[in-house]
Amino acid sequence: MPIKGALFDFSGTLFRIEPVRSWLAATLAERGVRVDEAAFERYAAELEAFGALPGGPNPKRMPEELAEGWAHRDENAELHRAVYTGLARQVALPDPGLYDALYDRHLRPDAWRPYPDAAEVLEGLRAAGVRIGIVSNIGWDLRPVFRAHGLDRYVDAYVLSFEHGVQKPDARLFRTACTLLGQNPTDVVMVGDDRRADGGAAALGCEVRFVRHLPVEERPDGLRELGLTEKVA
């Protein structure tokens, strides 16, 4: 059946956050903090192990006091910041201002890169009359990222978990998105990288397709390969 609407996840699907080392280096430079190479590598490895970069690797070690917050982190902005700065604080950084500065860094559009084929696929769908929505588990407003990278013009609706107080795979987020697009879920495809979270759209009758969560350089045409524009009405 031809698709009339397309929903996309954000992180790992259309965009990718910068690597941990780049995130840390940029923040240190902005704060004017200098560390030697050994210390830098240690900080980067520890921050990655604790999953302190939103959109980056998940924690390998989860402090007990943050576990509950982690499970609900994308349901409101305050909790999202508290959890991620709490994870960063597990690492003894040389400047106490770095914890909030690291969090603030990941909010900036230049910390994110679109996948190489993102604009092409969105443009193709839009040109074919397909309505496009973004459905993301996130604790902050990602619209400026889309605007800065020129992709906002393709998007008809944003449904962000922190604005609704629920997270994927909760079907309410996908239902809201379909309603905003004015489409029946059975005419909508959901594209994401997380089989559990993004797969929740299937409960409404949406077709679900997955891309691999890989660095930008390693996935030049993962969206294009889905053949979405071949299924338009």
CA atoms of 133 and 177, how far apart (whole Å)? 6
With beta carbons less than 8 A apart as the criterion, state whether 191 and 8 touch: yes
Res. 1: pLDDT tops 70? no
Which tokens hold the place of 96? Answer: 């106490």
CA 141 to chain centre: 11
Give the start-to-end residue ranges of the domains of the chain.
Answer: 5-16+111-231, 17-110
- The mean predicted confidence, pLDDT, of the chain is 96
CA atoms of 55 and 96, how far apart (whole Å)? 22
With beta carbons less than 8 A apart as the criterion, state whether 91 and 60 touch: no
String of b and e for 194-210 (b: at least 16 CB within 10 Å)?
A: beebbbbbeebebbbbb
Average of pLDDT values for 14-32? 98
Instruction: Give pTM, 2 decimals.
Output: 0.95
> For 185-199, how does the pLDDT look when each residue is reduced to its tens digit (9 = 90+)?
999 999 999 999 999
Res. 233: pLDDT tops 70? no
How confident is the model at residue 166, as a pLDDT?
Answer: 97
Average of pLDDT values for 4-17? 98
With beta carbons less than 8 A apart as the criterion, state whether 198 and 210 touch: yes
> For 208-220, how does the pLDDT look when each residue is reduced to its tens digit (9 = 90+)?
999 999 999 999 9
Q: Which CATH superfamily is domain 5-16+111-231 in?
A: HAD superfamily/HAD-like (3.40.50.1000)
Nearest 5°: the CA angle 103, 177, 222 is 65
With beta carbons less than 8 A apart as the criterion, state whether 171 and 204 touch: yes
Helix, strand, coil distribution of the chain in percent, nearest 5: 50, 15, 35
How confident is the model at residue 229, as a pLDDT?
Answer: 86
With beta carbons less than 8 A apart as the criterion, state whether 125 and 4 touch: no
Which tokens hold the place of 70? Answer: 């982690």
Residue 52: closest CA among 110, 105, 108, 115: 105
> For 115-167, how does the pLDDT look when each residue is reduced to its tens digit (9 = 90+)?
999 999 999 999 999 999 999 999 999 999 999 999 999 999 999 999 999 99
